[in-house]
Amino acid sequence: MDTPVIRPAVEAPVATRSDVVVVGGGPAGLAAAVSAARQGASVTLLERYAYLGGLAAGGMVLVLDDFADGATEITVRGIAQEMVERLHALGLAVYPPPGDRILSDEMWRRWSRWGLFDLYAKGPRKSIVYAVAFDPDGWKRVSNDLVAEAGVDVRLHSWYSTPVMEGDTIRGVVCETKSGPQAVLGDVVIDASGDADVAASAGAPFVEGSYMVTTVFRLGNIDTEAAERFEHSEPAECHKVNRAARRILGGSWAQWWLKTPLPGVVWCNCPHMSGYDGLSVEDLTAADREGRQRIAGLLDYVREHYPGFENAVVIDVAPQIGVRQSRLIEGEYVVTKDDVVDRVHFADSVARGRGYYTPYRALLPQHVEQLLVAGRHYSVTSEAQKLSREIPPCMSMGEAAGTAAVEALDSGVTVRKADVAAVQRRLRREGADPGDIPSPRARPADSTLAAAS
């Protein structure tokens, strides 16, 4: 084993300073930056890649789930909902109207190939719910509009590397760029990197979770009407062909292809691969290669055997491999699977997903001051994260973190001491649902947790 190389200390010029620095321009980071800027803070948003969107754009995760609890209760509002309205106005988002959100054969036929059903329902036919199929380039475009209108200073091509610490307080970050290292200073830092890059390197406790990774891709030139006709008129034959296709993919959901707002283009949330570490260069490289091989095999098969796929071409393989889970913060409170499944309501709830609530304490890392986290690396057990990391709830957390940062700055207190009731009021004013008012189906947290309000 070679001796590790010691890097010489290098000066990082201060590129800019702002009230709030957000690291990561995915769904959570976008919502955090926009909410903080709209409420009067100066905000810098740092992103390593050439676009905003994270897994929703570069990861090509193209259905927004966990927006609603059952057929009627919309649980995530605010910036996530605004994103949908803007995409819809551009013709780049599709969702079932309220009357279609039921369990019936007819609605299943109409919507199942859009993937807009209750993911957690059992059985072959699932209830249609409020979920949204969208276009990844549309997401990038609307993200750009939202940050521009809010006055967020966006710095792309900026790869976070090091925290700027003063004792246990974070004062900014250093990013690696083509021009060398650059420091960006701020009064509050929000880690929305998805992998807790900032929190972990600043010394906040975390655990390393893991889950399967996926090389998402899209196919074009598909006659989706012919493919759906085949599915409904020859179910047994279609089942056989789908089974063979899924065997080649080596890991996929039952609906391995889904329609998108672009005619003739389908989204393939597969192949899933397990055993890869989402933080390891070697594993990510190997997973990308393996995923592409499986996709090539699938293409050959469906062109020959799947009606409607005769002229299929690969339009794109997601530039970002789909890592669902890596580091998870061990914050002031760690959300459990029971909390998620039982809809446990916390007095300090600031964000919502399907039926569940996210307490402010789950966005607060331990040991590091003036740092918040938002998104899929929030403070949650590994098994609970698998049930609570969809895009809308991550945006809800981001909006809450951005709002809490401004509330703390305006009140002259640290983010750890932010007045949660005031954060909830601000979120309501901004059109979000912080979950302060429990739904009739919620279960109150035990008295010790409820005391945290």
CA dist 280 and 340 (Å) reads: 29
What is the smallest separation between the CB atom of 233 and ligand FAD, expressed in angstroms? 28
Coil vs helix vs strand at 90: coil
Size of the site for ligand FAD (CB under 6 A): 39
Measuring CA to CA, which residue among 443, 375, 432, 411 is closest to residue 187? 411
384-400 burial, b if ≥16 CB within 10 A, otherwise e? bbbbbbbbbbbbbbbbb
Per CB under 6 A, the list member of 322, 331, 353, 355 interacting with ligand FAD is 322
* Contact between residue 186 and residue 18 where contact means Cβ atoms under 8 Å apart: yes
Q: Give whichever of 142 and 449 is closer to ligand FAD, judged by the CB atom.
A: 142
What is the smallest separation between the CB atom of 231 and ligand FAD, expressed in angstroms? 20
Per CB under 6 A, the list member of 271, 375, 434, 435 interacting with ligand FAD is 375
What is the smallest separation between the CB atom of 251 and ligand FAD, expressed in angstroms? 11
CA dist 401 and 415 (Å) reads: 9
Longest Cα separation, the chain: 68
135 binds ligand FAD (CB under 6 A): no
Site for ligand FAD in 48-67 (CB under 6 A): 48-49, 54-56, 59, 61, 63-66
- Tokens at residue 78, please? 């605010």
Per CB under 6 A, the segment of 189-197, 337-345, 353-361, 418-426 that binds ligand FAD is: 189-197
Per CB under 6 A, the segment of 43-51, 76-84, 360-368, 445-453 that binds ligand FAD is: 43-51
Three-state SS string over 158-203 comes to: CEEEEEEEECCEEEEEEEECCCCCEEEEEEEEEECCCCCHHHHHHC
Per CB under 6 A, the segment of 305-313, 329-337, 385-393, 411-419 that binds ligand FAD is: 385-393
Residue 25 host element (H or E): none
216 binds ligand FAD (CB under 6 A): yes
23 binds ligand FAD (CB under 6 A): yes
269 binds ligand FAD (CB under 6 A): yes
Q: Is cis: bond before 271, omega within 30 of 0?
A: yes
Stretch 2-21: interaction string toward ligand FAD, x if CB under 6 A: --------------------
Stretch 152-171: interaction string toward ligand FAD, x if CB under 6 A: -------xx-----------
Q: Give whichever of 161 and 169 is closer to ligand FAD, judged by the CB atom.
A: 161
CA dist 67 and 426 (Å) reads: 21
Per CB under 6 A, the segment of 177-185, 304-312, 344-352, 386-394 that binds ligand FAD is: 386-394
For 116, residues 6+ apart whose C-beta sits below 8 A from its C-beta are 63, 94, 95, 96, 128, 129, 130, 131, 132, 133
Per CB under 6 A, the segment of 232-240, 342-350, 387-395, 445-453 that binds ligand FAD is: 387-395
CA dist 350 and 361 (Å) reads: 9
What is the smallest separation between the CB atom of 98 and ligand FAD, expressed in angstroms? 20
What is the smallest separation between the CB atom of 54 and ligand FAD, expressed in angstroms? 3
391 binds ligand FAD (CB under 6 A): yes
78 binds ligand FAD (CB under 6 A): no
Q: Give the amino acid at 348.
A: D
- Tokens at residue 294, please? 């499986």
Per CB under 6 A, the list member of 214, 224, 252, 388 interacting with ligand FAD is 214
CA dist 119 and 128 (Å) reads: 9
26 binds ligand FAD (CB under 6 A): yes
What is the smallest separation between the CB atom of 333 and ligand FAD, expressed in angstroms? 18
CA dist 180 and 227 (Å) reads: 51
What are the residues binding ligand FAD (CB under 6 A)? 23-29, 46-49, 54-56, 59, 61, 63-66, 159-160, 192-195, 197, 214, 216, 269, 322-324, 375-376, 389-391, 394
